Amino acid sequence: MPDRPEAAEVPEAAPGSEVPATPETVAVPDGGPAPDDVPALETLPDAGPAPASDGLESFDPASSASTPSANAPEHPVPIDEDWRRVSPKYVVVEVVGSLIGMVVFVAAFLVAYFWFEWWWALWAAVAIGVVSLVGIAFEPRRVRSIGYRLRADDLLFRRGIMYQRQVAVPYGRMQLVDVTRGPVARALGLADLKFVTAAAATAVTVPGLPLDDAERLRDELVALAETRRAGL
């Protein structure tokens, strides 16, 4: 997962930074849930629950007192001060998906053009090709717009450049957390993390997380959901 300092420099060199990003990605989980070496996280101790996350139990009355909700003093997940982005490699997954869709449609229209000699099919194929390529050109920007953020009591998720959408899911409302992997994502070592609440409209899927991160996050969030659970 691209951590915050790295994400700041990603924008102009998304494909190039892929290879160096990988070792760093591995390093973040090793550094524990609250990496001390990240300057942006230095405000974390003030957030209360974060210091307790190493031991998963809060023995410090001061930290639990500063927690807004008294029912969950321990917080197994570090609170994010800023948005976290998904792996830049996820661009590849999106591009491959778009390309496959484009090839299928263009081929179908070309077949229609050559076989049945429908002249408009050629123009349709060209139009689809152009639109898809423009879409693909915006793909890195779109992937960069995907972000998530763990707060004390809920998870924020946002995505989209044209149609921006931002969702807040309280931890106690998560009914299950799902890790899914498509073939391309698997080749790149990525996974999608899907959150299911009792409402179908929630539809929050964080795509393109490194597998280790996704699984760790899933376990942490499930544990968190368990402590916060309150009926439906």
- Residue 112, classed as helix, strand or coil, is helix
Q: How far is the CB of 209 from another protein (least distance, A)?
A: 19
- Residue 205, classed as helix, strand or coil, is strand
- Residue 5, classed as helix, strand or coil, is helix
Tokens coding 209: 């997380």
Q: How far is the CB of 61 from another protein (least distance, A)?
A: 20
Q: Which is nearer to another protein, 22 or 227 (CB)?
A: 227
Q: Which is nearer to another protein, 3 or 74 (CB)?
A: 74
Q: How far is the CB of 120 from another protein (least distance, A)?
A: 29
Q: Which is nearer to another protein, 121 or 204 (CB)?
A: 204
Q: Which is nearer to another protein, 143 or 155 (CB)?
A: 155
Q: Which is nearer to another protein, 119 or 163 (CB)?
A: 163
Judged by the rule CB under 8 A, the positions of this chain that interact with another protein are 68-69, 71, 153-154, 156, 162-170, 172-173, 197-202, 204, 228, 230-232
Q: How far is the CB of 231 from another protein (least distance, A)?
A: 4
> Rounded to an integer, what distance in angstroms lies between the CA atom of residue 139 and that of residue 50?
35
Q: Are 38 and 3 in contact (CB under 8 A)?
A: yes
Candidates 143, 204, 148, 146; CA nearest to 178 is: 204
Q: Residues 150, 156, 159, 165: what is their CA dihedral angle, to the nearest 10 degrees?
A: -170
Q: How many CB atoms lie within 10 A of CB 121?
A: 18
Candidates 118, 44, 29; CA nearest to 79 is: 44
Q: How far is the CB of 196 from another protein (least distance, A)?
A: 10
Tokens coding 85: 């982005």
Q: Which is nearer to another protein, 69 or 180 (CB)?
A: 69
Q: Are 53 and 76 in contact (CB under 8 A)?
A: yes
Q: How far is the CB of 145 from another protein (least distance, A)?
A: 12
